[in-house]
Amino acid sequence: MARSLMSGNEAVARGAWESGVFVGVGYPGTPSTEVLENLSKYDDVTCQWAPNEKVAAEVGAGVSYGGKRTLVTMKHVGLNVAADPLFTLSYIGVGGGYVLLVADDPGMHSSQNEQDSRNYAAFAKVPMLEPSDSQEALDFTRAAFEISEQFDTPVLIRSTTRISHSKSLVEVGERNTVASAEFKQHPGKWVMMPANARARRVDLEARMERLSAFSNECDLNRIEMRDPALGVVVSGIVYEYVREALPEASILKIGMVNPLPEALITEFASKVDRLAVVEELDPYLSSRLRSLGIDVVETGLSTIGELTPGLISRAFGATTPELRDEISDLPPRPPLLCPGCPHRGVYWALGKLKAVVTGDIGCYTLGALPPLSAMDTCVCMGASVGMAHGLGITGAAEGRPVVGVIGDSTFAHSGITGVLDMVYNGAAGTIVILDNRTTAMTGHQGNPVSGKTLSGAPAPALDLAALCSALGVDSVRTVDPLDMTATLAVLTEETKRDTLSVIIAKSPCALIVRSDADPVAIDEELCTRCGVCVRLGCPAIMKLPSGQPVIDTAICVGCGQCVQVCRYDAIVTVGPACDFGGGL
């Protein structure tokens, strides 16, 4: 059997491919993104980015009803967006196997909140599998497709950042060819109107009963008996941590976290003197165990953020081995907009206008950080538009313009309906679409605005200006945000309107279009150390202890934004800094 070093995300993709998956569909979001990117490398699978997770879940449903296997991928907050179809898909069940991979982000490495998606499995009444390493990521994905078809249900796989992004050895197999069924009319199953749904609701409970029996018998859950003095119940990455922190402890490793193997849990509890649950985020397992009448010892471990072997070891009073929690001697590296980032020009102009800026999620969220400090809110994808509308209604900005800023991918994801709402309700305000031609934050995925598919093939690029005009927006203008003067002028004019306007700030991400401009440097004779260039927050511009700003020509891409804000003409072009052309 061939072995390969794989991340959890690569292994899920491999498991789906081996399962004969026909279509992979999702929306990018850390830490889930690479699942679909890897699945798309297999020639015999159709893989697509959808504009958002709800659409992805529905495309997957269509594939499944057509009798083919499908993998749907998203990050935890994406499941909020996809929750509407999911909660009814559980009634309907599947044609071909339907597996939805959701990746949680404990510790919020790259997310606006922490969510424990295990709750979704219980809430939506769908089975959920939770792997502990890359081998299980592959094996559980294969198992998930089997369970989906055997029990006629969508199946969730829950990953977390450490599973998705850590690599371990995986034994890989061959691709199964799955017999395909054709779509057959079956209104009682496919059409969820009240009369049909009431019947399926009863079936759903019966299915969960059958799945509970399966959970007790399957090899996804297992008892590892060691010292019976302490038994620990775990799932996911925490299994690895507990093995390292408490090598003598007996373990009940739960791979199927919904429905739980209640008989197995009771059996394990009877075999150990003390029973503990160690889990990241919500007390999902411990509260279920307590509701079974099982005594669970308090560990004192936090329900906030990630666990580590060190934290677990200390919670159980263990002194050895010495487990380090984090590498504390690394200098902090705050995230920054890249040199040459076109978002910077918009934030500079918004700062000049003292605008109240409702923000959104993407690279441009970094505009909230000093020195730009030009974004006042950030909630979830698409929220900038609705919030600009709501804040506008209150009049609380007291004469300051209210401006919503939203990236191109985010606009396609969930900004369009917000603009429609503003038009429909006669709202005033300004929305800036930061069109950098890509989904930069998650690694430059194509989207409906960029006109590139997941495989990089050309696709029709959404004409944002035409769309906004068609929605009924009074004024739609396009600017190049690298032209700071023009951007400030357009923003000044548009924010004075008492109707709705949309400004499309269009310039490609500095990481996708390589600059051929020469880098710039500061002429210290002319520089007055006023600090305006430093306040652009460009990583290429630093301030020496003397107060003198200097430009690191090795990372300057010559975008010219600092040249435009310098009132003393002290920033000048120099020759290429390095033989790779001075660009990124």
Q: What is the CA radius of gyration of the chain?
A: 27
Q: Does 436 bind ligand TPP (CB under 6 A)?
A: yes
Among 73, 438, 507, 564, binds ligand TPP (CB under 6 A): 438
Q: Does 311 bind ligand TPP (CB under 6 A)?
A: no
Pairing of strands 3-7, 167-171: antiparallel
Q: Does 77 bind ligand TPP (CB under 6 A)?
A: yes
Distance CA 388, CA 404 (A): 5
Which parts of 443-534 are beta strand (E)?
A: 475-479, 500-506, 520-522
| Cα atoms found within 13 Å of the Cα of residue 455, Cβ hemisphere only | 14
Main-chain dihedrals φ then ψ at residue 99, nearest 5 degrees: -120, 130
Q: Does 439 bind ligand TPP (CB under 6 A)?
A: yes
Q: Does 164 bind ligand TPP (CB under 6 A)?
A: no
Distance CA 61, CA 83 (A): 13
CB of 335 to ligand TPP, least distance (A): 12
Is the CB of 9 or the CB of 250 nearer to ligand TPP? 9
Is the CB of 93 or the CB of 404 nearer to ligand TPP? 404
CB of 478 to ligand TPP, least distance (A): 16
Q: What is the largest CA-CA distance in the chain?
A: 82
- Determine the straight-line distance between the first and last CA of the chain, rounded to whole angstroms: 42
Torsion of CA 116, 122, 123, 128, to 10 degrees: 70
Binding mask 19-58 toward ligand TPP (x if CB under 6 A, else -) reads --------xxx-----------------------------
Pairing of strands 274-277, 356-358: unpaired
CB of 411 to ligand TPP, least distance (A): 7
Distance CA 10, CA 1 (A): 18
Is the CB of 464 or the CB of 473 nearer to ligand TPP? 464
Name the residue with tokens 């859950």: 221
Is the CB of 15 or the CB of 362 nearer to ligand TPP? 362
DSSP H or E segment with residue 128: strand 128-129
Binding part of the chain for ligand TPP, among 171-179, 393-401, 402-410, 546-554 by CB under 6 A, reads: 402-410
DSSP H or E segment with residue 7: strand 3-7
CB of 410 to ligand TPP, least distance (A): 3
CB of 310 to ligand TPP, least distance (A): 29
The per-residue DSSP string of 237-259 comes to THHHHHHHH-TTEEEEEESEEES
Q: Does 106 bind ligand TPP (CB under 6 A)?
A: no
Is the CB of 75 or the CB of 118 nearer to ligand TPP? 75
Among 24, 26, 362, 401, binds ligand TPP (CB under 6 A): 362
Q: Does 364 bind ligand TPP (CB under 6 A)?
A: yes
CB of 28 to ligand TPP, least distance (A): 5
Among 13, 260, 277, 361, binds ligand TPP (CB under 6 A): 361
CB of 10 to ligand TPP, least distance (A): 20
Could you tell me which of 341, 508, 363, 499 has the C-alpha nearest to residue 431? 499
CB distance 392 to 428 below 8 Å = yes
| Nearest residue to ligand TPP on Cβ basis | 407
Q: Does 235 bind ligand TPP (CB under 6 A)?
A: no
DSSP 218: S
CB of 361 to ligand TPP, least distance (A): 4
Site for ligand TPP, rule CB under 6 A: 27-29, 75, 77-78, 81, 361-364, 381, 407-410, 434, 436, 438-442
